[in-house]
Amino acid sequence: MSTPKTIPVNTDGVRDTVKKIVIIGGGFAGINLAEQVAKNKNYEVTLLDKNNYNYFPPLLYQVATSFLDPSDISYPFRKLFRNKRINYRMAEVLKIDPSSQTVHLTNEELKYNYLVFASGARINFFGMENVEKNAMPMKTIDDALKMRNALLQTMEQASMTKDLAERKKMLTIVIAGGGPTGVEVAGMLAEMKKNIFLKDYPELKGTPGGIYIVDGGPNLLGPMSQKTHQEAYKVLSELGVKVKLNTQVKDYDKNTVTLSNGETIEAKTLIWAAGITANTFEGIPETSLGVGRRMITDEFNKVTGLENIYAIGDASVQITDERYPKGHPQLAQVAIQQGRNLAKNFNAIQKGHSLSPFKYFDKGDMAIIGRNKAVVDLFKNRLHIGGILALFMWLFIHLISLVNYRNKLKTLYNWATAYLSKDQSLRMIFRS
C-alpha cells in the first residue's frame, strides 16, 4: 500500500498551491474582481463588507426621491455568491498589519496572501463641520432612506404650518454639486414638484419656494461636452431649477445656506453631492496615500511601498497612464475594468505569466435630467446624443448594470409605471 503524498502547508494551514485573496469592499470593483478570480481554483477568495448586500449607487437618488425601493437596486451578498466559491464576511476593518499579512476585523482576524482594497469612498465635506452636521449626503442606502423620510416629513410639516415665511423655507431645496448625482436629483425633484407634489398637497398651491443647484465650476456636468453643459443648463432652467455656477456652499445651519459669493438662501434642506474622499485604514502608511486619500498604485494596481497589497476603484489613484496623469476618474466603469484586469493578473501570477498594465477604456458619460431628457457623450465627448434617444440609452445601460434579473424587472416596472402615470406610489415614511 503506497504512502499518500504529503502536500506542504503554510503556517496558517493553507495548502501552498492555494493562495488566500482577501477583498475589502463589495462595490463595482470588488464584485467584478471576486467573481472573476474565484473561477481559479488555486485561489481562496474572501470578500468583506460592512453591509450584507451589494447596491447600485447611480440609482440611489431614485430611492431618495421615492421612485424606487431599496430592494430594486440591492441584492444580498450570500445569495449573489451561491455556488461561486466566494466566502463572505460582514465586518468592518479595524486595521491592517502588512508585516504579518493580517486583516484585523471587528469580529475576527484574517490571514491573506494577497489583499485588495476595493473599499470605495465616503462623502467629503471639506472640513465644514456645520455642513457635515446638517446637510443630507447621498452615498449609501441608509443615506437615501433618511433623505426620503426627511423630504416627505418636510412636505407634511409645510402643509400644516401657517407661517408663510417658514413654509417657503421648507419648500426650498439646495443641491450642492453639479455632477451627475446633483443634476439628476435636481431634475427629479423639479419633475416631482411639477407633476406630483400639488396633487398630494393641494394646500401648498401658490406657495413660493424653489430648487437650487450650486457648483463651483463654470458648467454643470463639468467633464462632459460643451453641448451637454448647455443642454443640462437649459433643461433644468426650463424645469424651474435655479442654477448657480462658479459658486460654492460655505456654511449651513439648518435654516440658511451661505454661499462663497456672500449670498444666502433660506432653506430647510441642503442635499450634499459635492465631493468624495477615499476610505482610509490604520496600517496603510501616509506615504502610500495620494490625492483624495486614495492609495497610490502602479500600473498593475499594486500599492506603492507595500507587498502583496492592491487597490482598485475609488480606493486607487494610478498616475502611470499617460492619458490620465492625475489619476482615473472615480467612475463605475473604471472600478469594473480595474477589477477585471486585476483578476486576469492574479491568474497570470499563478501561471507565472507576465502581467497586463491597466488601460482605461472610456465608454462615455451620461446623465438623465428630466422625464424626457438625458444626455450621452461618447468617444471622449466627440459624439453628443440628447433627447429621447439618450434617455433610452441611459435606461438600458442602468438596467443591464443591475446584478440580477429580479432587480432589472422590478426597476423596469417601476420606471414604466412612473413614466406613464407621471406618478409613483412609494412615498411612505418608514421609521427604523
Supply the CATH number for residue 221's domain: 3.50.50.100
Alpha-carbon distance 141 to 63, whole Å?
A: 8
pLDDT tens, position by position, 229-246: 999 999 999 999 999 999
Kindly tell me if the per-residue pLDDT of 10 is higher than 50: no
Domain end residue (candidates: 328, 351, 374) = 351
Binned at pLDDT 50, 70 and 90, residue 422 comes out as confident
Same domain, 135 and 259: yes
Same domain, 255 and 293: no
Which residue, 93, 94, 95, is CA-closest to 283?
A: 95
Is residue 5 assigned to a domain? no
Kindly tell me if the per-residue pLDDT of 12 is higher than 70: no
Cβ atoms of 218 and 245 within 8 Å: the answer is yes
C-alpha cell at 340: 477585471
pLDDT tens, position by position, 80-114: 999 999 999 999 999 999 999 999 999 899 999 99
**Total structural domains in the chain?**
2
Kindly tell me if the per-residue pLDDT of 40 is higher than 90: yes
Is residue 207 assigned to a domain? yes
Percent of the chain past pLDDT 70, that is, above it, reads 96
pLDDT tens, position by position, 335-362: 999 999 999 999 999 999 999 999 999 9
Binned at pLDDT 50, 70 and 90, residue 431 comes out as confident
Q: pLDDT value at position 135?
A: 97
Same domain, 39 and 171: no
Q: Give backbone dihedrals phi and psi of 58, rounded to 5 degrees, phi first.
A: -60, -15
Kindly tell me if the per-residue pLDDT of 280 is higher than 60: yes
Same domain, 334 and 368: no
Same domain, 263 and 388: yes
Is residue 75 assigned to a domain? no
Same domain, 256 and 159: yes
Sign, CA torsion 86/91/92/98: negative
Is residue 431 assigned to a domain? no
Mean pLDDT, residues 393-412: 90
- What residue numbers bound the domain in which 335 lies? 19-50+91-123+277-351
Same domain, 258 and 175: yes
Same domain, 156 and 217: yes
Is residue 139 assigned to a domain? yes
Global pTM value:
0.91
Same domain, 329 and 200: no
Same domain, 40 and 106: yes
Which residue, 331, 196, 189, is CA-closest to 267?
A: 189
Domain end residue (candidates: 351, 378, 406) = 351
Binned at pLDDT 50, 70 and 90, residue 195 comes out as confident
Is residue 81 assigned to a domain? no
Residue 86 Cα distances to 21, 48, 49, angstroms: 10, 11, 13
Same domain, 260 and 200: yes
The secondary structure element, H or E, covering residue 276 is: strand 276-278
Q: pLDDT value at position 11?
A: 35
Look over the chain and give the mean of its residue pLDDT values, rounded to a whole number. Answer: 92
